Amino acid sequence: MKTELTFAVLVDAENASHNDYLAMLEEVEKHGTVAIKWVYADWTDPHQKAWKDILHETASSPKQQFHYGKDAADHALMMDAIEVTNNNSRVNAVCIVSSDGGFYSVAQRIREYGIHVMAIGKKNTPERFRKACHNFVFINNLFEVTQNNHDDLETILLNAYDRCVERDDPVYLGDMGSMIKQIDSSFDPRTEGFQSLKKLIKSKNSLFDIVQETSDRCFIALKSKSTAGDLPTFSGKVRKWDPKKRFGFIKSKDGDYYFNAQELQSSVRDIREGITVIFNAVNVSEVRVQKDSASPSAFNVVIA
């Protein structure tokens, strides 16, 4: 049974906007219950006056920290994060609201205690902080759905699928979502233009089949080889091959195609990047109706 998360939300108010605070709390509440809301700043500074109403509205506690040296408020937040995770048995999750990479060390330390670490920040948040979290959410995704911003989206999806299929076949979409977060804590379907992972996967119907779906559960599998039928033959060069994950991409004059080791008619040992192959597939123009369509699958891949 999945453990219910109870969060302490700790906000670096000198690095976050009061205008975003309500949306941030709503995002955290999607993942669990919020028990603590502490907001850190030097509240004697007139620039922090705008926080007053939202703190009252959300029943959040302002934590006063005079500017005794650089990053005094940050240090107070870090010390409280360690203390609350050690001394409050109710709290099993922490959400740090900041884009400051300096919080990566406390995030990593809390994670080592077995506490779930979430963070909300801007896209320019240093990678070391994002990777220290189980779940990092970009502020922009709280308000808008962007389009196709993740590097090599298909590789991440296929990597997560392959890790999950080692345990279960077909793959439960919830497990795949958790696996994606292990690979990249900042992954978010909203960054790709979709409100949910299910909608994103359904858009990649040249890669995945929905094999079972109910209102609350969804299972997926890689596109079945049986769909190859009498498909036309193409040729191209292997542009990417991951021997550990056993999948790759073929670049042809019509576009990119995805293939996995099960579709190889030649020895896996002979496959390398730059080699020419022949394969069966649906014409890429027939499946790429949208700009962000996935690479279609290649079947019966043979070295030319």
- DSSP, residue by residue, 223-241: PPGGGGTTPPEEEEEEEEE
Angle subtended at Cα 183 by Cα 181 and Cα 187, rounded to the nearest 5 degrees = 50
The band of 289, judged by pLDDT with boundaries at 50, 70 and 90, is very low
From residue 157, give the alpha-carbon distance in Å to each of 138, 197, 212, 228, 295. Answer: 19, 10, 19, 22, 12
Average pLDDT of span 273-282: 86
pTM: 0.61
CA distance 227 to 230: 9
pLDDT of residue 79: 92
pLDDT tens-digit profile of 16-59?
899 999 999 999 998 999 999 999 988 888 888 889 999 999 99
Which domains are seen in the chain, by residue range? 5-142 (3.40.50.1010), 153-222 (3.30.420.610), 226-303 (2.40.50.140)
Burial 248-283 (b: 16+ CB within 10 A, else e): bbbbbeebbbbbbbebbeeeeeebeeeeebbbbbbe
Distance CA 270, CA 275 (A): 9
Tell me the C-alpha distance between 41 and 66, whole Å.
8
Question: How long is the chain?
Answer: 304
The pLDDT tens digits of the residues spanning 261-275 come to 777 877 777 888 999
Q: Is the distance from CB of 5 to CB of 116 less than 8 angstroms?
A: yes
More confident residue, 286 or 174: 174
Question: Which token pair is 156?
Answer: 């991440």
Residues 235-254: tens digit of each pLDDT:
899 998 888 777 889 998 88
pLDDT at 292: 42
Mean per-residue pLDDT, 101-125: 93
Q: How far apart are CA 36 and CA 53, in angstroms?
A: 18
Angle between helices 72-87 and 104-112 (to 10 degrees): 10
